[in-house]
Amino acid sequence: MPRQRPRSEDNADADAASCYASSSSSSEETTITIPETPTIATITTTTTATATLLSLPPELLYAVAAPLPTASIHALTLTHPRLYALLNEYLYTLAPPEVLIRQVKLNSYPRASGRNLQPILLLLGRREQVQFADRGGWTALHWAARRGDLETVRLLLDVGARIGVRNNAGRTSVHCAAMAGRGDVVAALLERWDGMAEEEEGEGDDEEVEEVEEMEEEGSVSGLAPERLVDARDFAGVTPIEMAVRRKSADALRVLLRYGAKWEGVCGVAVKSGGEEVVEVLREWATGK
């Protein structure tokens, strides 16, 4: 069998050149379909676009953002602190009416990282958020009072949250504060209620009454409490002072007594509940000590 002749260096070079040409040709054919990493030009274009948005006044920025989907606006908020500050606020104007209740429930309890009240503050300017009631007839004020969140209660009262609105169980925000056992929240609600009564000289706010009547027809709330909010009964016949006694909250009980709540019918409840401090408060109030 004849021995194969070794390839010469010239032949090897020719083969290598051929392979390189083939590789180059293949590379040229596929560069269009292979994704490329961002180039300096791409980054520069993106940076220029962001810089252009940053130079816009808020009104024009909102006009640019208006036709964009919510996801795209959210993505823009992550590109620069100014865009976050402006567009994040804009996003909250698009939020459905139940978002405030959700934020109140999320931020009512203290966390290790601290409370984040910014979403609540951004939503307070929208009346439909403040007055919205969930399926149980609970407004944001009901929830803030039930969680004993005095700060949020005051914020809601400052923007016109209605104190006397009943939920589907007939309970007002005062009932909810008494359930939480928070005398300071009960005091904030009753103080504001008395101030409103003095300003109106005993006359109801016609606009508020009409709005609540519309909500009652829709089934979202159960009307307004009577003039004496401190003694309003829920649909089970329970008053705020009875709730405070059941909760064994002497602080809430003292506040309700100070605002003139009727106490005669709750002495037996206090004894049955076993709240010694509550019984003592009622005894001192009855004897005038």
Max mean pLDDT range (118-122, 169-173, 226-230): 169-173
Task: Choose between 45 and 158: higher pLDDT.
Answer: 158
Per the structure block, which two tokens stand in for 123? 């939503």
Which of 24-28, 126-130, 178-182, 238-242 shows the lowest per-residue confidence on average (mean pLDDT)?
Answer: 24-28
pTM (predicted TM-score): 0.66
Higher pLDDT, 52 or 215: 52
User: What pLDDT score was predicted for residue 285?
Assistant: 87
Residue 165 is classified by DSSP as B
Q: Are 266 and 282 in contact (CB under 8 A)?
A: yes
For residue 56, list its beta bridge partners. none
Q: Characterize 142-181 residue by residue with b for buried, 16 or more Cβ atoms within 10 angstroms of its Cβ, and e for exposed.
A: bbbbbbbbbebbebbbeeebbbbbbbbebbbbbbbbbbbb
Mind listing the pLDDT tens digit for each residue in 216-236? 555 555 555 555 789 999 999
1: its two tokens: 């069998």
Average pLDDT, integer, range 197-205: 51
Mean pLDDT computed over 116-144 = 84
**Mean of per-residue pLDDT scores for the chain:** 74
Mean per-residue pLDDT, 23-46:
45
Confidence (pLDDT) at 57: 77
Identify the residue with better confidence: 60 or 40. Answer: 60
Residue 139 φ then ψ, to 5°: -90, 175
Is the confidence at residue 202, as pLDDT, over 50?
A: no
Q: What is the pLDDT of residues 43-98, one digit of tens each?
A: 344 455 556 677 777 777 777 777 777 777 778 777 878 777 777 666 666 677 78
Helix axes 183-200, 250-258, angle to 10 degrees: 20
Nearest CA-CA partner of 222 in 173, 175, 166: 166
What is the share, in percent, of the chain residues with pLDDT greater than 70? 63
In Å, what is the CA distance from 64 to each residue of 61, 72, 154? 5, 12, 36
pLDDT band at 131 (very low <50, low <70, confident <90, very high): confident
Question: Which residues, at least 6 apart from 73, have a Cβ–Cβ distance to it below 8 Å?
Answer: 65, 87, 90, 91
Q: Give me the percent of the chain exceeding a pLDDT of 90.
A: 26
Under 8 Å between Cβ of 152 and 185:
no
Q: How many Cβ atoms from other residues are within 10 Å of residue 74's Cβ? A: 14
- The angle subtended at Cα 61 by Cα 58 and Cα 62, nearest 5°, is 85
Q: Is the pLDDT of residue 24 over 50?
A: no
How far, rounded to the nearest angstrom, does the alpha carbon of residue 272 sit from its chain's CA centroid? Answer: 38
pLDDT band per the 50, 70, 90 thresholds, residue 252: very high
* CATH node for 95-287: 1.25.40.20
Reduce the DSSP state of residue 171 to 3 states and report it.
Answer: coil
